[in-house]
Amino acid sequence: ETGVTQSPTHLIKTRGQQVTLRCSSQSGHNTVSWYQQALGQGPQFIFQYYREEENGRGNFPPRFSGLQFPNYSSELNVNALELDDSALYLCASSLGRGGDTQYFGPGTRLTVL
């Protein structure tokens, strides 16, 4: 059984740029949730995808967008990067429409300069 993987591990961008983060869900899982974790804080929910459709969204602006592909992998896109977007970005996969246990990947550390 393959766990949740994320790429890249680390990323450095400058303010105003755009970034794409990737997540491969655990084998057999069809739901992916994305979280942002600022330094010293708990993860904050960004949005969730179930079978390629958005299935819930947290309090994040529209410049945070996502996709889920037929193989249930997912992308998180952030446009017009701001300094406060510097954080650990986590994805979690689960089976079913969001109600099952979520299993997290190792995260992508994004630094915006």
Partner 1 sequence: DAKTTQPPSMDCAEGRAANLPCNHSTISGNEYVYWYRQIHSQGPQYIIHGLKNNETNEMASLIITEDRKSSTLILPHATLRDTAVYYCIVRVNFGNEKLTFGTGTRLTIIP
Question: Pattern of binders to partner 1 over 71-100, x per CB under 8 A?
Answer: -----------------x-x-x----xxxx
Q: Which is nearer to partner 1, 16 or 56 (CB)?
A: 56
Give every CB contact of residue 13 below 8 A, 6+ residues apart in sequence: 19, 81, 110, 111, 112, 113
Residue 8 near residue 107, CB atoms below 8 Å: no
- Give the nearest distance from C-beta 5 to partner 1 in angstroms: 10
Phi then psi dihedrals of residue 32, to 5 deg = -125, 130
- Give the nearest distance from C-beta 104 to partner 1 in angstroms: 4
For residues 104, 33, 79, 86, the Cα torsion angle rounded to the nearest 10 degrees is -40
* Residue among 65, 69, 75, 104 that touches partner 1 (CB under 8 A): 104
* Residue among 26, 30, 35, 81 that touches partner 1 (CB under 8 A): 35
Measured CA to CA in angstroms, residue 68 lies from 13, 30, 38, 48 at distances of: 23, 9, 24, 9
Part in contact with partner 1 (CB under 8 A); list of ranges 14-22, 47-55, 65-73, 79-87: 47-55
- Residues near partner 1 (CB under 8 A) are 4, 6, 33, 35, 41-45, 48, 50, 55-56, 58, 88, 90, 92, 97-107, 109
